Amino acid sequence: MVLFDLLKMTKEKILILVLLLVFLSPSYLNIGCITGICSSEIEVCACGFLPLEFFVTFVWVYVIAAFIVEFALMLRKIINKK
């Protein structure tokens, strides 16, 4: 079922998905970043090279962009049917 959904994805959706996967990868996300708690073993408490605020903002921008793309595609389908 998931594979079938991936085959129906547009280029815009694939780009958004890839960017989200890149920024959600373990190299950018660690436990110190999520909890804000750093032990002496963790030298840098951040999402890789990105601060947490930038990371969260960046993800929200792409989530909102995904909804806008989805809404635009839905409107285009409705307009094309008329």
Q: What is the dihedral of CA 10, 14, 15, 19, to 10 degrees?
A: 160
Cα→Cα distances 63→11, 18, 34, 52, 81, Å: 16, 12, 19, 16, 27
pLDDT at position 27 over 80: no
Mean pLDDT score across all residues of the chain: 62
pLDDT digits (tens, 9 = 90+) for 58-82: 677 777 777 777 888 888 888 888 6
The pLDDT value recorded for residue 1 is: 41
pLDDT at 18: 67
Q: 68: closest CA among 10, 4, 2?
A: 10
Q: Which two tokens stand for residue 26?
A: 């373990």
